[in-house]
Structure 1
């Protein structure tokens, strides 16, 4: 069954046109009035004081530190190379898996070496029999000493050849030199490898270290046993204390920096090669105000903050010190009790009124 719309009348009914016109005018008038009302609110909002959050300055003792760049290194790291050339007959690289010390990683075809070992052992057996016969004859003066010495030399030579061949056979087996985690496989089964071929990498991640560099002017800040703070970016960022183990014996003559190595605590959740920021304490403490970094406005001559005084925004020059992930120390330019704008800095103008939405004390 189909439904068809009723046909519209060709002429409007009497009295309907004025009603339609009046409705349209009323609708347009309502929209215009709402637009004016919204514009008035926006104008009032734009002309009103800026809403800000402030932090009441409270100076505290903050220890200065020197920041250095570093990287995480494994306690042991090695590239697994074969010691002899040949074709791989066995390959077991469990990528990213932990293996025990001595685990067989790969084997190289040793058929020719095994055959050569059997040949040498046969020759050794004959040489020993000959030595035994000559020894008995020598006791009854049936042979001279030179013949017996030659037989002894042949036995020792065959023994050495057998030991050498066994050593070559042992080199066809690639084992894990220490317990650790295997990296990515670099070859396939059946490949022909040489001593320059990398089969995989192996690193011990049970003890992780951080290597970082210090300018020669700051070399005296560290020594074995010094505790430094190591920060890693990420989500969330991680921070660990590390203990300095050792340092290079001399300063690099090109960069004028000294490389220092520190040991991370057990269980640190980082991977070798990760970039690290190392904070080395200087031992000097200052009275500073710690602010969020978004409260600081960098300038050409000096950094600035926005203070709230008598309900108005006031620009204040400050001198900054140690910077961390999201905080920075202000070492001069602020006094106790100053109200520093931390949120809404971009909406403030010098001398313009502001309204404090939330205030808190510095911790």
Structure 2
């Protein structure tokens, strides 16, 4: 951004809208009145007080459920029972749906009948074998038939179990995707189920910063909302290899119990690098972005003076200035639009910031 040396207030075309939004109506009125009366512009200032600020990295992430599953049937058939209470919590083992199992029930009855006959035959041959009334081969064949029928019965019972879709864990059901009576296959999604008792955040870090986190590290997670919510999260683990396309490392952290968030929500994650340096925290509306350097307006000897600064981490509505300011500098925060370099200004309100 550059100041214009004419009598008009200095503004950069690209940042006019941003600065105008940050200035209050009272500031605009005060500035216009000062300009109308040819008097000094009215401004509010902060007296800079450098302090130790820890550097951090800001990463994008997403909230994920501790467990998530799409409920699919394991066998094909027509739905005879469907109970999907959308958005409701269900317990582990609760029946969600049933598939028509009449054919399997008939097969099971037939197998059990054959099994009963084969067991009777085995018992008779066993008695005859003891008195050498039958050879060993005939008895072994009868034993084999019993085991075969038992295996068929077990297989049919397993297939019957697959006709019942149960909740694999306690969680909240999503929206129902099918209707009662629909013919479903193993590719059909009946509903989704996710456990919301534990929420996690997955975020990515550049390759160069992968070493700043490790299991047990604490990161700060910021979620959108009114008001925005902030939670400390504990790092659980990180991916064993970098993404081959982005060269980023995926990290997973656990949100604290009771965190109000929805799986899939966007999250901003602040990761501390552990390095601290002397900085001045200013409101973001005091900074004027420029092509080569950011700038602020200082008040010196009752006049507005431009000062180039170098900024660091941004946190909510504050930004750290790491160089360009000295202790005691008066930085204009409100009324920036109505100041001109070298022109007189009048300080309406001043306070210190650490």
The question of a shared fold, defined as TM-score above 0.5 by the shorter chain, is answered with yes
1:77-88 aligned at under 5 Å gives the runs 77-88=68-79
Residue 244 of structure 2 aligns to a residue whose secondary structure is coil
1:170 partnered with 2:165? no
1:220 partnered with 2:208? no
TM-score, length of structure 1 as denominator length? 0.86
**Correspondence for 1:312:** 303
Residue 76 of structure 1 aligns to a residue whose secondary structure is strand
**Correspondence for 1:327:** 318
Question: Which of the residues 218, 237, 247 maps onto 1:256?
Answer: 247
- Per chain length, whose mean CA-contact separation is higher, i.e. which structure has more relative contact order (CA < 8 Å, sep 6+)? 2
Which segments of 5 or more consecutive residues in structure 1 lack a partner in the other structure?
Answer: 1-40
**Correspondence for 1:144:** 135
Rounded to whole Å, the distance in 2 between the matches of 1:84 and 1:153 is 29
1:135-191 per-position Cα deviation (integer Å, ceiling 9, x unaligned): 111122222111111111111111111110000000000011111111111111111
1:171-210 aligned at under 5 Å gives the runs 171-210=162-201
Query: 2:40, 2:345 within 8 Å by CA — same for their partners in 1?
Result: yes
RMSD: 1.5
| Structure 1 residues 46 and 118: CA distance shift in structure 2, 3 A | farther
1:42-121 aligned at under 5 Å gives the runs 45=36, 47-121=38-112
TM-score, length of structure 2 as denominator length? 0.88
Runs of 4+ aligned structure 1 residues displaced above 6 Å come to 41-44
1:283-322 aligned at under 5 Å gives the runs 283-322=274-313
**Correspondence for 1:243:** 234
1:96-141 per-position Cα deviation (integer Å, ceiling 9, x unaligned): 1111111111111111111111111111111111111111111222
Question: Which of the residues 340, 346, 349 maps onto 2:337?
Answer: 346
Query: 2:91, 2:170 within 8 Å by CA — same for their partners in 1?
Result: yes
| Structure 1 residues 46 and 192: CA distance shift in structure 2, 3 A | farther
Aligned residues: 323
Q: How far off its partner does 1:311 sit?
A: 2.1
**Correspondence for 2:11:** none
Question: Which of the residues 100, 108, 121 maps onto 1:130?
Answer: 121
Rounded to whole Å, the distance in 2 between the matches of 1:314 and 1:226 is 43
**Correspondence for 1:4:** none
Rounded to whole Å, the distance in 2 between the matches of 1:43 and 1:120 is 99
Question: Which of the residues 264, 273, 285 maps onto 1:282?
Answer: 273
Q: How far off its partner does 1:318 sit?
A: 0.5
Rounded to whole Å, the distance in 2 between the matches of 1:347 and 1:232 is 35
Q: Bigger CA drift: 199-208 or 166-175? A: 199-208
1:37-86 per-position Cα deviation (integer Å, ceiling 9, x unaligned): xxxx9697353322222111111110001111111111111111100001
| Structure 1 residues 239 and 171: CA distance shift in structure 2, 3 A | same
Q: How far off its partner does 1:273 sit?
A: 1.0
Q: How far off its partner does 1:207 sit?
A: 1.2
| Structure 1 residues 280 and 109: CA distance shift in structure 2, 3 A | same
Which segments of 5 or more consecutive residues in structure 2 lack a partner in the other structure?
Answer: 1-31
1:337 partnered with 2:336? no
1:273 partnered with 2:264? yes
